[in-house]
Chains A and B, each alone.
Chain A
Amino acid sequence: MSEQRKRISEALRVCAETGVPETAAPWPEIRDRALAGRRSRRRSPRRSRFVPRTRSGLAFAALLVMLFGAVGFAATGWINELFEDFAPEVQEANLSVQLNEKQTVDGITFTLERAYADEDNVVVGYSIEGFEDWSDRYPTTGLSVVTDGSDGAFEYVGGGGMGTDPVYDTEGGESLSDLAFFEPSNKLDPSAKHGFRFELKPNPKAERGGGQDGSPAKAADKTLVFDFGIPVHEVDVIEAGQTVEANGIPITLERVENSPARTEAILCFDPPRDDEYTWIPVVPRPDIAESDVFSNESLYGAPPEEEIGCVGYDLFRSIYDEPGRHTLTVTRIEGRSPSADDPRLMVLRERIAGPWTFEFEVPER
């Protein structure tokens, strides 16, 4: 084992043991979650995947590969996987539009594969093929842009190498597929066709940190432009207006905005000692994977700019197509303030326990 590897291993051990001391498993909580899951598990629509298991299925897959080419088939497959993982309701309802617009720069093919839009979201799936070695940089600058000719801006909220790791497939050629998520500053009007422009900036060979030989970094010199038209789907707004008080603090679930791409809950409250901290409600997942309504993670919201004292939560997945009653429980609120060392860092200062439990109804469609 090299000295460097030893030191990294040892450092990780120290971080893990310092961050998480030896602790007994919280068995009652685990047991309750396990049993609750078993009781409440219901048949959820499984994602359809084409996984050939029979000889005829394999023959069909082989035919598809021959027809569309191995690499193209792989890339499209990845886009479907990404939609399944990050926008499953869009995928299941087949709401994204196949575009398949290609542009080639320096032998590298950039393909706008699929896109989806609703009043609050634009999701663009693209792939990049034909590159050689991307081991230390992304093939794009990470700056992808959506516009629609209006004054409204589209905030880039994920994908493209930020947060989510792009999917690489090095078998049968180097390729990369990614979803880029955007939020319009103004709600889009539902329509059968809305014009968008997607811009992608390729990353020249020496873009990141200069060339291997120490030469200066080159600026990206070309922006790829894809114009496309797709429907804008409606978003359901469920007005909840429900206030619950715990520990002397009332919190209101104002509404739930429910689209195939994303379900967002808007919670509003008067933060305690609001001159000291920024207070954020924390919403852990109420049940387990097979019947999850919200998340297997704690959710932290970001305050919508237009609503002072309110916090919007992207739930772990959309419940657009899940009519019936749903619950949302805030287990605690956390007060944070900037670090003295680095004001960009928000440091946890105080926790106040709840719970605040809300109910709302997703209507049948």
Chain B
Amino acid sequence: MDEQGAVERLKAGDIGGLEAMAELYYTRATRVAYLIVRDRALAEDVAQGALVRVYESIGSFDASRPFGPWFTKIVVNDAIKTASRRERTVSFYEGNTEDLLGRLADPETGPHESAEKAETSRRVWRALEQLPPAQRAVVVQRYYLGMSEAEMIGLGASSPGTVKSRLNRARKSLSKLLRPQFRGEEDPPTDRERPVAVGALPDPCAEEEIR
């Protein structure tokens, strides 16, 4: 069943349409949520909850528009709320971060391309952790989902000013957090930065303070 057929069935109240959507979108939705909530079980819960909400609110969906962005908005918003609530109230949060860092470093489970890629991923994962959930979400939309600023604004989840402001702050924060490894041509060094010789980088995981 294609996406349009699934939407039609859902609008007719046929839960079979939801099964088709789950097959199409579940993994992607879970991955998007995972990057924001940083816990696989929670991410699965967000993805499942988002599909349930699709079933409930499909009546308000304009079938002439693509389903993906509408669904992404639900997933991202739920993930932000979940992460915000959890980070406000939860004491035991870091276990799954450790799990991922371990798997990234494990040749059996980590990325097979190169050790450098694994290291870069570890650094980005740790940097992402230091952003508030809403900023994390714009990073995921922009860099993981490849959405343009206009597309993010078009989701209508936040005002244009809020999207721009969050993206701007997230970029700056990431840029600072990922120095010196990620220093790019657009981001010249400042006097405040400690000079580090190429090839003599300390262990980034040991260097960074993660709470």
Contact A9-B84, Cβ < 8 Å, known A288-B49, A346-B95? no
Within 8 A of A (CB), among B128-173: 128, 132-135, 139-140, 143-144, 146, 159-162, 164-166, 168-169, 172-173
List B contacts of A85 (CB < 8 A).
81
List B contacts of A346 (CB < 8 A).
91-95
Question: Do most interface residues of chain B lie in helix, strand or loop, or is the interface mixed?
Answer: helix
List B contacts of A353 (CB < 8 A).
none
Smallest CB separation, B172 vs chain A (Å): 5
A24 to B24, CA, bound (A): 10
| Binary CB contact string for chain B from 109 to 142 against chain A (1 if under 8 A, 0 otherwise) | 1110000011011011100100011110001100
| Binary CB contact string for chain A from 90 to 121 against chain B (1 if under 8 A, 0 otherwise) | 00000000000000000000000000000000
Contact A158-B88, Cβ < 8 Å, known A4-B186, A165-B133, A288-B56? yes
Query: How many positions in chain A have a CB within 8 Å of any CB in the partner chain?
Result: 78
> Do B90 and A300 touch across chains, with their CB atoms under 8 A apart?
yes
Q: Which of B23, B43, B88, B118 contacts A163 (CB 8 A)?
A: B88
**Is A63's beta carbon under 8 Å from chain B?**
no
**Is B7's beta carbon under 8 Å from chain A?**
no
Q: Which of B45, B103, B118, B172 contacts A284 (CB 8 A)?
A: B45
Question: Contact residue range for chain B?
Answer: 35 or more
List B contacts of A34 (CB < 8 A).
15, 18, 51-52, 55-56
| Binary CB contact string for chain A from 284 to 302 against chain B (1 if under 8 A, 0 otherwise) | 1100111000011110101
List B contacts of A20 (CB < 8 A).
27, 30-31, 34, 40, 43
List A contacts of B128 (CB < 8 A).
12
> Do A300 and B91 touch across chains, with their CB atoms under 8 A apart?
yes
List A contacts of B78 (CB < 8 A).
296
Smallest CB separation, A1 vs chain B (Å): 9
A4 to B146, CA, bound (A): 14
**Is B190's beta carbon under 8 Å from chain A?**
yes
Within 8 A of B (CB), among A267-318: 278, 280, 284-285, 288-290, 295-298, 300, 302, 314, 316
A19 to B160, CA, bound (A): 31
| Binary CB contact string for chain A from 156 to 182 against chain B (1 if under 8 A, 0 otherwise) | 011101111101111100000000010
Q: Can you give 30 A-B contacts (C-beta < 8 A)?
A: A4-B178, A4-B184, A8-B143, A11-B121, A12-B143, A14-B120, A15-B35, A15-B124, A16-B144, A18-B110, A19-B100, A25-B27, A31-B15, A34-B52, A37-B52, A38-B55, A162-B88, A164-B87, A165-B133, A165-B135, A278-B92, A280-B92, A296-B78, A296-B81, A297-B42, A298-B41, A302-B90, A302-B92, A342-B210, A345-B94
Q: Which 3 residue pairs spanning A and B have beta carbons closest together?
A: A170-B161, A25-B26, A158-B88
Residues of B within 8 A of A (CB): 15, 18-19, 22-23, 26-27, 30-32, 34-35, 37, 39-46, 48-49, 51-53, 55-56, 78, 80-82, 84-100, 103-104, 109-111, 117-118, 120-121, 123-125, 128, 132-135, 139-140, 143-144, 146, 159-162, 164-166, 168-169, 172-176, 178, 182, 184-187, 190-192, 205, 210-211
